[in-house]
Amino acid sequence: MIDVILAVVGGTIAVTIIGIIVGLVLLGIDRKFAAHMQARVGPPLRQPFIDVAKLMCKDSIVPENAVVSVFNAAPLIALASAVTLLLYIPIAGFYPLFGGLGDAILVMYILTVPALAMVAGGFASGSPYATVGAQREMVTMIAYEFPLAVAIVAVAWRFSMAGFSDPFSLATMAGVGSGVVVWDIVGPLGIIGCLILLLVLAWVTPAELSRVPCDTPEAETELCGGLVAEYSGRNLALFYLAGGVKTFAMTALGVAIFLPWNISWFIGITGWTALIADVVFFLLKVIVVMFFSVSLIRVSMARFRINHLVSLYWGYIAIAALVGLMMIILDVFMKGGVVL
């Protein structure tokens, strides 16, 4: 029993450290991508580490009319919940640390916690800018949650129809153990449906991360930072870390569901060489997903107005998700029911 507890604690600490480091590296790579697409040199890749270190050295100023306990607790909750996501998501073909204790539905719930923590912190700050930002964040969450749920549930339903005993497990979707992924069990219509759902998840990602063009809750030019307008020092650093870790978790989720393959079996290597190759290949896939779902979109588009954002996700993105779901359903019926 003690060994199990120590293993879980040690694994959680390791995942936390890895998540923070990879998350900050991804933020640095994203800034480099954006700079080069805008014909700029951009900051060095280590800039997020420099920013966090600088913020950690500064005091956190608490507004006079803030609810102090909630104001200070919100950044910790945001970071802790972002790290918790990584405990349920398969990384580089490894079974997640908490894989047997939750599934895709739980992950969708946990995805909302960092945003809710920011909402609570915004309201607790007492700033009118943060209050407007918190209201926008709640509206944005309501808008993107439906297409996200449809995309994940559609894949889980297809695994269920294929006869898998635990279809909502992310380890099942990633083919951990079985080696079977969603692309192996769908036909032509199912492939089209999965491609549509992949695009849906790519468009949900910037909204989940509050990145341009879905950064209406912060909107520096309108709300002076919105949700984090009153945050500084260590508290702001924790929010920044939470954003980096959530970026890693969100892109890793997309890789686990739709791009879960390892490269070692393809090039025929085993042992430690295969492990290193699979980890590097996984990180490359995460970077590619981040480029198309975060960097490319935020450089190509201006910020949405909040009403346009809601119309986009409740309208076009939701319809696209439902079309992808219907394509997968039709694919099953055309194959005559359960396929394994």
For residue 258, the Cα-to-chain-centroid distance in whole angstroms is 14
Q: What is the pLDDT of residue 3?
A: 76
Residue 140 lies in a domain: yes
Q: Is residue 340 part of a domain?
A: no
* Domain count of the fold of the chain: 1
Q: Could you tell me if residue 316 is inside a domain?
A: yes
Q: What is the pLDDT of residue 257?
A: 92
The answer to the question of residue 186 being in a domain is yes
Q: What is the tens place of the pLDDT at every residue in 169-186?
A: 888 888 887 778 888 888
pLDDT value at residue 49: 95
How confident is the model at residue 256, as a pLDDT?
A: 92
Low-confidence ranges of the chain (pLDDT < 70): 221-225, 335-340
Report the pLDDT value the prediction gives residue 51, as an integer from 0 to 100.
Answer: 93
pLDDT at 4: 74
Examine residue 17 and state whether it is found in any structural domain, yes or no: yes
pLDDT at 222: 66
Range of the domain at 235: 2-334
Residue 330 in domain: yes
What are φ and ψ of residue 91, in 5° steps?
A: -120, 120
Global pTM reads 0.92
Q: Residue 336 has what pLDDT?
A: 58
Q: What is the pLDDT of residue 329?
A: 92
Question: 339 lies in a domain?
Answer: no
| Contact yes or no for 182/155 (Cβ under 8 A) | yes
- Would you say residue 56 lies in a domain? yes
Q: Please, are residues 301 and 212 in contact by the beta-carbon 8 Å criterion?
A: yes
Task: Give 145's contacts (C-beta < 8 A, 6+ positions apart).
Answer: 108, 112
